[in-house]
Structure 1
Amino acid sequence: MKKRILFLLLVLGAFVQNEIAAQRYLKPVFARNEIAVNHDTFGVNATLLYQSLFGEAIPQFLQMDVYRPASDTETNRPLVLYFHTGNFGPFKNPDPTSPVQNGFNGSCGGQINDSAAVEICTRLAQMGYVAASCDYRLGWLPGATEQQLRRYTLINAAYRGVQDATTAIRYFRRSVAEQGNKYGVDPTRIVLFGQGTGGYISLNTALLDDYSKIPLSANGKFIWNPRTVTGSPCAPDSNIPMVIEQVNGNLFGTTVGVSPITDPMNGCMLIKLDTLCYPNWPGYSSDFNLAVNLGGALGDSAWVDNAMANPQPALISFHVPNDPNAPYNIGTLSVPGQDPPLQVVEVSGSYMVQGFMEADGQQDVLVNANDNYLDLQANQLAAFANSPAGLQDPRVGLYPFVMPPDTIKPNEPLSSAPWEWTSFPGLPPIPGVTPGFVCNTDKADAMKYIDTIMRFYAPRACFALGLQSCIDQVLGSKEPLAKHIEVLAAPNPATDQIRLSSEEEILAIQVIDKNGRLVRNVNSINNTSYTLLRNGLPVGLYVVKLSFKEGFVTKMVSFN
């Protein structure tokens, strides 16, 4: 009897392991209580955040929380480095006497333990990844009266963010080579995942891969004459790049950067040399495979290269098309928390960048994923169809979240970051300080968007990272797209009914609205035509998914 029970337990254990292997990286295979979190330091570098207090840049330890399944037997797992939101400013006010404490950065978050960061990293660990929520250096002058000074300090903040992201990459590669791979990661499969401001970091780390791209950016937007802007005789009286490798360190943070001495002959006080960049883990690669961007933007669309000349990481983006601060297509970045908003610099948003990436061949691996994994495809197409005019051409790696309008500001979305939630309600208007802002405190609502983010991310990451076990699962379970089958829909748009017809027999249809909700499901049609009756459906665009023996076809229809 004992032998029989042991045999059954072994069979059951093997079955469970096979099921975990089959679903791993696509769905959660570990429980939440199996996820261990370790706090660690991945580097140290110079921060200017407290320059007004200390008179110079000071060292800052770069911290992270590492999430991984404690009961996992796998020791070669893909790694996700997660970067939080926060407008490159501290969420908590360094001055305890200020009327603003939480939300000092004009944001609803800005820490490695933000709710969305914890939730997404936990879910990634449940899927079998190792995920690290990483710190990065903060500080710029969003309230500067001169736009060029705001631009100068912002490009420097973003540059430091790129240095810190690549420092984290190299730290983990070093941990594999020199520390016995203490986190059990695969150093050849790395993802940078950024939320809000973190999306700027993941995007720019992926595509700003050569320092020369900064001074060569469109319209010389990252070139300035510091003396004419600041009025200081200490500043050089000539046009120079806003970022200089000898001053700021190289793009990857593997060389020393030192600010120059001021000249006492110009009436300036002589100060000591100030180190702005300390090298971290030189000798290790800063390469990675995939960038994920939640509502970020890129400094210049020209930073996207042709894949034949310079392969760059694939890109997955999620963005609210009418985001008032971070442009979705191309536009001027504005400072949140200012009234009226202060303009900073023209940037390229998710829609534009994803389009260039696709055209330049950088997204071919995601095109392959889209062709082979069709879950959410109809929802994604519906979201594009309901996007603003001129922004409706689908992008394989982009999922737009079309939001209802804000009740107070109808030209703005109800939320530009619907995946975020917090117990912090926001700030009321404070004259001379902030126009105020409201934070989402509805966890259940935010979780719905995170559900979609993870569901869209998972299969595409499998292809981008070359995770063969989950690629096989995708290919083995997919419902094929019947590209050769033609479907007619007439009239379209329609008032009351639309006749759907094909030369092949239609088995079933599903109708999905602009919010991705299934509003009609009809089975056992078994005919070459079907009349779709409106029956109370609201005015708008819909995606109809028609199932055939050889696969399915999607068709866009409209009721007016």
Structure 2
Amino acid sequence: MKSLYTLIVLFSLTVMSSSSFAQERYLDEVFTDVTVTENVIYSANATVLLVPVFGQAIQIPILMDVYEPTGDTEAERPLVLVFHTGNFLPNVTNGQISGTKQDSSVVEFCTRFAKMGYVAAAVDYRTGWNPLAATQPERALGLIQAAYRGMQDARTAVRFFRNDAQTTNAFGIDPNSVTAFGLGTGGYLTLVMGCLDDYFKIVQTESPAGKFLLDLDGDMVPETPMVVPVYHGDINGETTSVTPDGAFGLPAGDTTTYAHYPGISSDINLVVNVGGALGDIGWLDAMSTPVVSVQSPFDIFAPYDDATVIVPTTGDPVVRAQGSLAVARRIDSLGNNSALYNATFSDSSTDLAIANSATAGHEYYPGLFPFIKPSNSLGIDEGVVLNWWDPDSPSPADGQGMGVPWNQLPHPSGGTFHEQGLVLNEGMSAEKSRANIDDIMTFVAPRACVVLELPCAANFISSTEELLTEQVEVKVSPNPTSSLIQVDAIDETIERIEIVSIDGRLVQVRNNINDRFASMNISSFESGNYVLKIYFEDGLVTKQIIKE
């Protein structure tokens, strides 16, 4: 009898252990190995980088590396397109060690997504503009045109995969589940991919009005768009464009865009923006794609709210843009991220996002992770550090660095590229960057499950039954209050408490309480009514509270 009891206990512990550590596809890494198909040509389009050499735009192949879980038998896998950083300039020319599809961060994200069961692609895109142009309008013109070409390429990459799904199906993607994941400059791309559905939005900006218009006649009233489809192609890159004359510094009759996969949808299902910003907040509307953003509130390069983008090396202004906080505020007011409000996230990164939102002085948005780290020894906020490198490794042999190692290649700002890289990445290492990537994946993966409606979404969509007050007695005091709310569940154990605004926004959460008593500080809240959700093992109780 004793042996049978021992066997039952051991079996129970085994089941509990297995369920506690079960790995779930799209949420955890469930594959060991990844298969990479390198240098897939998804497009061939015109680059302006060679205009000074050849006197015209030159058609070049545009490449991606595709990562897949090795040995996977799933027929349709969600797709993640990962776009690198780089200031819309070639590597080295951009003053950075990063800026290609081989960046350590890009490889790391793609590998992790593939091990989680996604198909991931590290996508290159066209670059080229002059950040050293003499005037602010010239710099704004160069940047918006570079971003426009990058957007065309990014959307062409989406159509490439959808076309593949309809034809050879070489990559086995689910065409109805596409995420655009942007790092730094790549975040600028993914944000416009999710909302710029009409060319005229470029002309009709909100913050400020007319920022992408030129004053060519000198009457102090800008009237000429900086991007014109007849010269620069349509917003998706589905048509071929040939310049009718020599405007915009291009020769007449020059082909500036080449059509690819016309008639196939360029839509995406989720935007992830890590450290980027949006060209104009007015581009967001009720039809825009859900957005998850990660950014330092103290970012020294991209605006966190609403500010002017500057040239890092000179400090010269380029154009006013809106960062992750402004995007989260607007897109949540539009209801685009409603799926995230209907889910419950109880992970370390969500807890950190809630705390960091308070530190940054704004309310918590479930689609925004304010990424805060201590300043380095120089007093600089490093932002979201993701890349690492071998100082002895060569710079790209086919670029401006001509293969010279990073610790020998002179940097325009002094020292070597390696030394300059350490200014914003003190103690650079794979371990440092991977720890940051861990935090980002912990935040992003559950939200992708929910927005993309993947099977793993069931972990976060609450089916908790609301308990009657006769079943559980809960006292909340004082109510109204100007600061602390005390919750007493009398004879029950509280697991979690959420505070939700009257319009349904989660504004505060406390997890892992495991006590009958709990307190919540709402002193920073605006005056008004809120809903207190008190969770127990068997359900929840809701209470209305008033902040004085």
User: Residue 144 of structure 1: SS of its match in structure 2?
Assistant: coil
Unaligned runs of 5+ in 2: 1-18, 392-405, 498-509, 522-532, 542-548
2:385 to 401, 412, 418: 418
2:47–2:127 CA contact under 8 A, matched in 1: yes
1:135 match: 124
Alignment map for 1:340-489 (pairs within 5 Å):
341-368=315-342, 371-376=343-348, 377-387=350-360, 389=361, 392-408=362-378, 410=379, 412-413=380-381, 415-424=382-391, 430=413, 436-437=420-421, 438-440=423-425, 441-467=428-454, 469-475=455-461
Describe how 1:110-509 pairs up with structure 2 within 5 A: 110-179=99-168, 181-218=169-206, 219-226=209-216, 239-262=223-246, 271-305=251-285, 307=286, 311-336=287-312, 338-339=313-314, 341-368=315-342, 371-376=343-348, 377-387=350-360, 389=361, 392-408=362-378, 410=379, 412-413=380-381, 415-424=382-391, 430=413, 436-437=420-421, 438-440=423-425, 441-467=428-454, 469-475=455-461, 501-505=487-491, 507=493
Q: Is this contact kept in 2: 1:293–1:315, CA < 8 A?
A: yes
- Coordinate RMSD, CA, aligned: 3.8
Q: Identify if the C-alpha distance between structure 1 residues 466 and 504 changes in structure 2 by more than 3 Å, giving closer, same or farther.
A: same
- The answer to whether the 8 A contact 1:82-1:132 is kept is yes
| CA drift at 1:430 | 3.6
Q: How has the CA–CA distance of structure 1 residues 58 and 146 changed in structure 2, closer, same or farther, with 3 Å as cutoff?
A: same
Contact 1:506 1:547 in 2 (8 A): no
1:270 and 1:114 map into 2 onto residues whose CA distance is 32
Distance 1:46 1:479, change over 3 A: same
Distance change >3 Å, CA 83–CA 502, structure 1 → 2: same
Task: Judge conservation of contact 2:243–2:252 (CA < 8 Å) in 1.
Answer: no
Deviations 1:226-263 (A, max 9, x none): 4769xxxxxxx983100001110000011122223249
- Residues 507, 546 of structure 1: 8 Å contact kept: no
Query: In the aligned structure 2, how far is the partner of 1:201 from the partner of 1:295?
Result: 11
CA distance in 2, matches of 1:127, 1:78: 10
CA contact (8 A) 2:495 2:514 kept: no
**What is the match of residue 535 of structure 1?**
none
In structure 2, the residue matched to 1:101 is none
Give the partner amino acid of 2:210.
G
C-alpha distance in 1 between matches for 2:300 and 2:186: 17
SS at match of 2:121: strand
**Farther off after superposition, 424-433 or 278-287:** 424-433
Give the CA deviation at 1:122.
Answer: 0.4
Kept in 1: contact 2:34–2:114 (CA 8 A): no
| AA in 1 matched with 2:339 | V
Cα offset, 1:201, TM superposition: 0.2
Deviations 1:362-415 (A, max 9, x none): 1112222xx33332432221111111x3xx21112000101222432x3x41x1
2:154–2:189 Cα contact (<8 Å) kept: yes
Q: Does the 8 Å CA contact 1:23/1:473 hold for their aligned counterparts?
A: no
Matched-pair contact (CA < 8 Å) for 2:210–2:222: no
Match of 2:27 in 1: 26
Q: For residues 200 and 454 of structure 1, what CA distance do their matches in structure 2 show?
A: 19
Residue 244 to residue 303, structure 1, CA distance change in 2 (3 Å): same
Give the whole-Å Cα distance in 1 for the aligned partners of 2:377 and 2:468. 42
Rounded to whole Å, the distance in 1 between the matches of 2:329 and 2:256 is 36
The runs of 5 or more residues in structure 1 that have no matched partner are 1-17, 93-103, 230-236, 264-268, 512-519, 533-544, 554-560
Identity of aligned residues (%): 38
What do the CA deviations read for 1:191-250 (whole angstroms, capped 9, x no partner)? 100000000000011111100001111321100034769xxxxxxx98310000111000
Amino acid at match of 1:367: Y
Structure 2: how far apart are the matches of 1:114 and 1:439? Answer: 16
TM-score, normalised via structure 1 length: 0.75
The structural deviation recorded for 1:493 is: 12
The aligned counterpart of 2:42 is 42
In the superposition, relative to structure 1, how do residues 140 and 322 fare at CA in structure 2: closer, same or farther (>3 Å)? Answer: same
Residues 158, 482 of structure 1: CA spacing in aligned structure 2 closer, same or farther, 3 A cutoff?
farther
The answer (yes or no) to whether the contact 1:22–1:473 under 8 Å persists in 2 is: no
- 1:93-104 map, 5 Å: 104=93
Query: Post-superposition shift, 1:507?
Result: 4.2
